[in-house]
Structure 1
Amino acid sequence: MLSGFKKFLLRGNVLELAVAVIIGTAFNAIVQSLVKDVFAPLLAAIGGQPHFEKLVLKVGSGEIKYGVFLNAVFSFLIVAAVIYFFVITPYEKLTARFSSPEETTLRECPECLSEIPKAAVRCSHCTAQVAPLTEPTSETH
């Protein structure tokens, strides 16, 4: 029983998940600091008030603290923008630069325009006979 638990803990998925959680937590601290210490003061300089906690709607004897909700919405939007513009966009550009175009193994059937394998001699959709595609050979002289 203990060996099964040891095997589970040493499995690659568990270790990768643990590393991802730790990195994610550290990254969250960076993003939260960026929002709180950089973007909130910029919003305060532009709009005059970076925090909306004091915005309250009195209903009878209760209070609806919609300012706290507004803070959460603005924080979410800022975090989403930071993630998109400073993580996702550069990552996509970097992977596009280093990735090679994938070679497709499919082609269109000339009869029904369904996708079929390049080497097919008969369409699996309409059963029409199709000429097999020959791969271009690179001959060296």
Structure 2
Amino acid sequence: MWEGFKNFILRGNVIDLAVAVVIGAAFTQIVDALVNGLINPLLTLGLPPQLKSIENAWLIGPFKFGLIVSAIISFLAKAAVVYFFIVRPFQSFAARFTPPPAPAATPEDVLLLREIRDTLKGQSR
């Protein structure tokens, strides 16, 4: 049972991609909660009240530069949460259960060249 589950998790194909999209959509709520409940309050911890809302902080005429800055900060925060809390732990988890790669087979022409080299060395002595 666990072997089949491990193979399912560690292989990559279209079904796994479809599952990843569905799980990713559901997981968005967790990432948003981490960003909105932890990261954003930490970022605004020492700011004065008028700057707590970045969207309205940099309003220049009709242009809302604060909205762009807020979207960039939100994207970077979400990317950091996904990378450090999901990708990195999964990579270390997967590395524990993935067998080491088999040594690369030596091509036949390389073996033949080595044999010729060894024969020539033997003749020169």
TM-score w.r.t. structure 2 length? 0.67
The CA deviation at 1:18 is 4.5
- Among 51, 54, 72, the alignment partner of 2:53 is 51
Aligned pairs for 1:66-77 within 5 A:
66-77=65-76
Larger radius of gyration: 1
Hey, what does 1:27 align to over in structure 2?
Answer: 27
Q: What amino acid sits opposite 2:73 in the alignment? A: F
Change (3 A) 1:19 1:98: closer
Hey, what does 1:65 align to over in structure 2?
Answer: 64
Hey, what does 1:95 align to over in structure 2?
Answer: 94
- Contact 1:35-1:79 at 8 Å conserved across structures: yes
Q: Which has the higher contact order (CA 8 A, sep 6+)?
A: 2
SS in 2 for 1:130: helix
Unmatched 5+ stretches in structure 1: 1-11, 108-116, 132-141
TM-score w.r.t. structure 1 length? 0.60
Unmatched 5+ stretches in structure 2: 1-12, 116-125
Q: CA RMSD in A?
A: 2.4
Please list every run of at least 4 consecutive aligned residues from structure 1 whose deviation after the TM superposition is greater than 2 angstroms.
15-22, 46-51, 104-107, 128-131
Identity %: 35
